[in-house]
């Protein structure tokens, strides 16, 4: 890319985006920094809330000043609320466990910021994500790849990037071997955020009670007492509200198992206001239904494809078969634990992201025969 063409760096105030901006300045690029102010409420001190809070904006401004680059702050609180916060609440109310980082990437960072990039006449949008992008001349397509360092790879939460978006985005940190390497670079460049801790996973949840307390304050009417039942439907206790639970949860159920084996949340049934609990082996599944399937390569297939897949960010990839078509799904070679509706399933071939989507509800038993025939 021509170094005379300006690039827009999304600066969150953290060490990753700060190093990305500094690296490009050092390489001679014309850099513009932009910080999204999207959330700043905190029960303690708003200066120390999550990314893009008031404190984070000040950190980003300080880094931009040290680098000698122009820096803009834009208020995207309404857009963030509609695309991320409201979705977060609605999904929990529906008995699903959403991934707000994916929603933010899809609807805020890589939609709104790309629009701003073009408005400012920039050639690329640069972020501090750990992933890589490659262009294949033979196919004429862009590929989203895992970061060179497996420790901080974030390709999982970037699976929804389209071909057009991949052509306009740059992840300089994807080539670094580790987060430690990033911090060393920050220290060597004299950045004030070199030792700044990573932001919490859910940037807008600062309540002491975590996400459940956040939901309770935002929409108290979705917390209604109901039955805890076992997998046979027998009542075994009472819960304080379906949104306070997620599949795979062990702590906070409020039951002492008679068998002596620990109990886990197996399923959520908001339409019945029930939480289903059971033992660890009842969490195992081989089939994972997917909706809103996105093909990172730009072209999908309906037939089976052998992949390595994961259904959680911090999960090691497992062998599976990916089916597209009208009923997208992953069928794992070995059972996987705690398949959680609302979370993300991503499929890889080698280092390349093939496709990903949102995990749907468990497929009814009467569809198992058809699935088996497909394989």
Q: Which of 181-185, 304-308, 358-362 has the lowest mean pLDDT?
A: 358-362
**Rounded Cα gap, residues 54 and 47, in angstroms:** 5
User: 84 with 109: CB under 8 angstroms?
Assistant: no
pLDDT at residue 6, rounded to an integer? 95
pLDDT, position 37: 87
Average pLDDT of span 41-45: 47
CATH number reported for the structural domain that contains residue 297 in this entry: 2.40.30.10
Q: Does 101 participate in catalysis according to the annotation?
A: no
Does a structural domain hold residue 299?
yes
Q: Are 24 and 31 in contact (CB under 8 A)?
A: yes
Is pLDDT at 13 greater than 80 in this prediction?
Answer: yes
Q: Of the residues 131, 165, 188, which one is the last residue of a structural domain?
A: 188
pLDDT at 142: 96
User: Is residue 205 predicted with pLDDT exceeding 50?
Assistant: yes
Give the domain extent around 247: 224-278
Interatomic CA distance for residues 118 and 102, integer angstroms: 22
Catalytic-labelled residue, pool 51, 101, 122, 203 = 203
Q: What are the tens digits of pLDDT across the range 88-135? A: 999 999 999 999 999 999 999 999 999 999 999 999 999 999 999 999
Domain end call among 163, 188, 213: 188
| Percent of the chain residues topping a pLDDT of 90 | 78
Instruction: Return the SS3 of 63.
Output: helix
Q: Considering the domain boundaries, does residue 77 fall inside one? A: yes
Would you say residue 203 lies in a domain? Answer: no
Residues 332 and 257 in one domain: no
**14 lies in the same domain as 152:** yes
Q: Is residue 52 scored above 80 in pLDDT?
A: no
| Average predicted confidence (pLDDT) for the chain | 89
255 vs 272 pLDDT, higher one: 272
Do 177 and 67 belong together in one domain? yes
For residues 245 and 21, give the distance between their C-alpha atoms in angstroms, rounded to a whole number: 40
The phi, psi pair for 352, rounded to 5°, reads -95, 135
Q: If pLDDT is split at 50, 70 and 90, which confidence band does 45 have?
A: very low
In 3-state terms, what secondary structure has residue 86? helix
Q: In angstroms, rounded to a whole number, what is the distance separating the alpha carbons of residues 365 and 363? A: 7
Does the annotation mark 104 as catalytic? yes
Q: Which helix (H) or strand (E) holds 147?
A: none
Report pLDDT for 199. Answer: 74
pLDDT digits (tens, 9 = 90+) for 238-249: 999 999 999 999
Do 53 and 165 belong to one domain?
Answer: yes
Q: Which residues pair with 238 in a beta bridge?
A: 227
CATH number (domain holding residue 91): 3.40.50.620
Q: Examine the domain organization and report whether 323 and 272 are in the same domain.
A: no
53 DSSP assignment: S
Q: Are residues 365 and 248 in the same domain?
A: no
- 248 and 292 together in one domain: no
Report d(CA 187, CA 198) in Å as an integer: 16
The rounded Cα 140 to chain-centroid distance in angstroms is 28
Q: Determine the Cα–Cα distance for residues 262 and 156; give it in Å rounded to an integer.
A: 30
* Structural domain includes residue 19: yes
Whether residue 27 is found in the same domain as residue 122:
yes
Catalytic residue among 52, 101, 104, 122: 104
Q: How far apart are CA 276 and CA 271, in angstroms?
A: 13
Q: Give the number of other CB atoms < 10 A from CB of residue 223.
A: 17
Inform me whether the pLDDT recorded for 166 exceeds 90: yes
User: Which of 188, 209, 239 finishes a domain?
Assistant: 188
Give the total number of structural domains in the chain. 3
Are 177 and 231 in a shared domain? no
In a domain, 311, yes or no: yes
CATH number of the domain that 247 lies in? Answer: 2.30.30
Structure tokens at 278: 């059971």
How many residues in the chain?
Answer: 375
Give residue 42's pLDDT.
Answer: 47
Residue 371: band (very low, low, confident or very high) from pLDDT cuts 50, 70, 90:
very low
Q: Is residue 113 domain-shared with residue 238, that is, in the same domain?
A: no
Average pLDDT over residues 209-217: 89
The encoded tokens of residue 343 equal 């979370």
pLDDT at 64 over 70: yes
State both tokens at 113. 């910021």
251/296 same-domain check: no
Looking at residue 54, what is its pLDDT? 66
Per the domain annotation, does 210 fall within a domain?
no
CB 117 within 8 A of CB 326: no
Mean pLDDT confidence for 319-332: 95
Q: Is residue 207 part of a domain?
A: no
pLDDT exceeds 90 at position 141: yes
CB-CB contact of 328 with 342 (8 Å) = no
pLDDT at 365 over 60: no
Averaged pLDDT, 310-334? 95
- Same domain as 147, residue 62: yes
Domain membership flag for residue 11: yes
């Amino acid at each position: 890319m021509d170094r005379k063409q300006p690039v827009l760096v999304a600066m969150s105030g953290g060490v990753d985006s700060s190093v990305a901006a500094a690296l490009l300045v050092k390489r001679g690029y014309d850099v513009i920094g932009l910080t999204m102010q999207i959330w700043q409420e905190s029960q303690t001190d708003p200066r120390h809330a999550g990314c893009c809070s008031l404190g984070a904006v000040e950190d980003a401004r300080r880094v931009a000043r040290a680098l000698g680059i122009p820096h803009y702050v834009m208020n995207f609180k309404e857009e963030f609320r509609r695309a991320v916060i409201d979705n977060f609440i609605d999904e929990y109310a529906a008995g699903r466990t959403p991934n707000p980082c994916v929603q933010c990437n899809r609807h805020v960072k890589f939609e709104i910021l790309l629009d701003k990039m073009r408005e400012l006449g920039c050639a690329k949008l640069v972020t501090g994500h750990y992933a890589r992008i490659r262009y294949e001349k033979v196919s004429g397509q862009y590929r989203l790849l895992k970061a060179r360092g497996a420790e901080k790879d974030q390709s999982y939460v970037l699976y929804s990037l389209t071909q057009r978006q991949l052509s306009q985005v740059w992840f300089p940190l994807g080539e670094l071997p580790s987060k430690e390497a990033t911090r060393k670079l920050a220290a060597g460049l004299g950045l004030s955020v070199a030792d700044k801790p990573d932001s919490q996973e859910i940037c807008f949840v600062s309540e002491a009670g975590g996400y459940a307390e956040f939901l309770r304050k935002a929409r108290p009417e979705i917390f209604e007492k109901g039955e805890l039942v076992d997998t046979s439907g027998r009542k075994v206790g009472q819960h304080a509200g379906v949104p306070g639970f997620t599949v795979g949860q062990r702590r906070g159920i409020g039951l002492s198992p008679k068998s002596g084996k620990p109990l886990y949340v197996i399923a959520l049934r908001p339409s019945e206001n029930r939480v289903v609990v059971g033992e660890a082996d009842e969490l195992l599944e081989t089939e994972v239904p997917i909706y809103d399937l996105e093909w990172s390569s730009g072209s999908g297939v309906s037939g089976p494809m052998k992949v390595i897949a994961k259904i959680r960010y911090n999960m090691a990839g497992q062998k599976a078969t990916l089916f597209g078509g009208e009923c997208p799904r992953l069928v794992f070679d070995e059972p996987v634990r705690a398949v959680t509706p609302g979370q993300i399933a991503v499929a890889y071939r080698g280092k390349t992201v093939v496709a990903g989507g949102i995990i749907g509800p468990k497929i009814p038993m009467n569809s198992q025969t058809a699935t088996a025939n497909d394989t």
